[in-house]
Chains A and B, each alone.
Chain A
Amino acid sequence: MNLNYLIAILASGVVAGTPILYASLGEVITERAGILNLGVEGMMLVGAVSAFYVGTFSQNKWLGLLVAIVAGGLMALIHAVITIAFRANQVASGLALTIFGTGLSAYLGRTLVGIPPTSTFKTVPLPGLSQIPIIGKILFNQDLMVYLSVILVIVLWFVFYKTKAGLLLRAAGENPSAVDALGHNIFLVRYAAVIGGGMFAGAGGAYLSLAYSPSWVENMSAGRGWIAVALVIFAVWDPARALLGAWLFGVIASLGLHLQALGVMIPSYFLQMLPYIFTFIVLVITTRETKTRRSGTPAALGIPYSREER
């Protein structure tokens, strides 16, 4: 395995990690406000199908991405109303959202199967940066949505830790009654976080159908939404660690396939399992870590907020 092959593995890994990164960032936002949304897979699928539909017929990938973001937000709104207004069980509502999104996307996508895309996100080498040895080929020879995802990580990190809005968001997940008592609208914060999270999931779906493998087939997210949910725990609800986790996951997935192509005689089932084994290990480690350091999990995660029960 020479250096170029290694670079190829890492570059494919970044691409493989990007849809998961978008979805993870969305779930980080949502959970930071104290709401667990297990509907990521469903929101991604609806995002993917609407992005492909609009992008292909308008021949404008940006319009497709925009509609996917809106569609993801609308899906999340359903979850927000059920869990925030009606204080229903967040796990049940999220699971229902995934089932709903899977079915809805299949229905909407009926006429899209077998249609080639007309406008897709293609590789755009960044002038100058892409010439940097090794790093340039891995990070700066990608499509625009990859660059956008990195910018969003930086923006989110800044918002989370350096702005008042970020403080409010985090407080909503740690101690909603305090936010309420200070006169802030806790419900508004939570609605915004859930809808914002859905928008990111929608963008993750759009990445699949307009950039990663531009086409629509049923169920094309193939479980990536669930991986994104798991990665949030690895990320300890931090955008920068979400990036690390998503890329690591992507690289491991890419490594498994690349080793096969080299004819390495490791059972392919084992190679395919690698990313999931990685997820398990990461879950175990981070669950222990968050317990001992008492950091991470938003204290009010999954608990419906009600003024009467304060």
Chain B
Amino acid sequence: MKLSKKISISTLVFVMILTLLLSGCSQSSKPAATSDQGSSQSAGQKIKVAFVYVGPVGDFGYTYAQDQGRKYLESHMKNVETTYVENIPETADCERTFTDLAQKGYNIIFGTSYGYMDYMKDVSKKFPNVVFEHCSGYKTTANLGTYFNRDYQARYLTGMVAGKYTKSNILGFLAPFGTPEVIRNIDAFTLGAQSVNPKVQVKVVWTNSWNDPATEKTAANSLIDAGADVLAMHVDSPSFAQTAQDRGVLAIGHDSDMSKFAPNSILVGDVSNWGPYFVQVVKEVMNKTWKPTQYFGGIKDGGVIDITPFSSKVDKDFQAIVNAKRQDIIDGKFVPFTGPVYDQNGNLKIKDGDKATDEMLLSINWFVKGVVGSIPKS
């Protein structure tokens, strides 16, 4: 009896660890982006807008940025009522959530994670009078549109700054999972850095989590120990920047302005601002001009993606160079993935003068030359 109790306790601990491992993996898919056309949509006087998040609003990263957009929408529009549901997994659970929100009379429902795609497609067909907007997916229906931002444009620019300010010619990059979004960002960052410093290498360390600040700190330390003197990341927390500051190296922010966490280290960062897009969607729905599009907004589209102000450590002349490049991107004179682009093994992936298509960018699964590290096979 006592023995069996002991065994059952050990079994339980095993099960707990298993659960932990599984839950660690389950948050792995975030947006990737893109589609066709559909019809328009009716609206009431007071618009009710719901947001479905895959993570917690307190992650200070991806979901946090989407929720800042929701708050922006609330403060910039009258007659709008918003709600959100967080931590909704990309399973049948989300289908239930979307159905429930549609039945409760929400006029517009934003789903912010890639894995919601098929569920949103199904639910949208059942509720033709509700407008659905899916972040990072590529399927649309008569009342389901998609949205995402051209994160790689800002990444290229912040990569230029990193390439300019490294002395060791080694940049460190903390990455969560090998999704196209993450790979695209690392590649763009590397291309930007190489454009000002051809000798630069980018070392990648995978943390296998969107949000584990403690592991991120150890990972940041490992990159610094391996010689990196400018760090960047595509995870959620500012932990890496604090580590950079403690160790006296530089850092590039991501998702939100992280300079207050490490004022001596952060040189510049990229920042996503979804608010104006949410406002645009709500206005279109109110005016009955909304159509299901595949929105893929860049720097030119007013804030949906951009870079933060530079730190005073970045000298004025170089700021001007980066700003000129930013203007070229806005004017369409420059596209970050312009050939010749080679992959890690030296294969020509984008021919001289060619530009990467959106399709390629949204499904990219190879590192450019100069990245040190391998992409985890999932």
Closest to B1 in A: A303
- Interface 1/0 per residue, A268-310 and B, CB below 8 Å: 1100100010011001000100000000010101110000000
Contacts of B16 on A, CB cut-off 8 Å? 38, 226, 229-230
B44 is an interface residue with CB less than 8 A from chain A: no
A16 partner residues in chain B, CB cutoff 8 A: 214-215, 218
Contacts of B21 in A (CB 8 A): 276
A79 within 8 A of B: no
Asked if A268 and B225 make an inter-chain contact with CB atoms under 8 angstroms apart, the answer reads: no
- In chain B between 1 and 48, which residues have their CB closer than 8 angstroms to a CB of chain A? 2, 5-6, 9-10, 12-14, 16-17, 20-21, 23-24
Given contacts A116-B260, A230-B17, A269-B376, contact A5 B225 (CB under 8 A): yes
Chain B residues near A110: list those with CB within 8 A. Answer: 57-58
Q: Please tell me if the beta carbons of B214 and A208 are within 8 angstroms of each other in the complex.
A: yes
Contacts of A8 in B (CB 8 A): 221-222, 225
Q: Does B74 sit at the interface, judged by CB under 8 A?
A: no
B56 at the interface (CB under 8 A from A): yes
Among B203, B208, B211, B222, which residue has its beta carbon within 8 angstroms of that of A219?
A: B211
Given A122-B246, A261-B223, is A301 in contact with B206 using a C-beta cutoff of 8 Å? no
Spell out A's residues near B (CB within 8 Å). Answer: 4-5, 8-9, 12, 15-16, 19, 36, 38, 91, 106, 109-110, 113-114, 116, 122-123, 208, 212-220, 222-224, 226-227, 229-230, 233, 253-254, 257-258, 260-263, 265, 267-269, 272, 276, 279-280, 283, 287, 297, 299, 301-303
Shortest beta-carbon contacts, A-B, top 4: A213-B213, A261-B226, A218-B58, A213-B239
List 26 contacting pairs A-B, 8 Å CB cutoff, sorted by A.
Answer: A5-B225, A8-B222, A12-B218, A16-B214, A16-B218, A114-B256, A116-B260, A215-B60, A218-B211, A220-B211, A220-B212, A220-B213, A222-B215, A227-B17, A253-B215, A254-B218, A258-B222, A261-B203, A261-B219, A261-B223, A261-B228, A269-B376, A272-B207, A276-B17, A283-B13, A303-B5
Given contacts A218-B211, A229-B16, 16 further A-B contacts (CB under 8 A): A5-B225, A9-B222, A16-B214, A113-B60, A212-B217, A213-B217, A213-B243, A217-B60, A217-B211, A260-B222, A261-B223, A267-B376, A268-B208, A269-B376, A287-B10, A302-B9
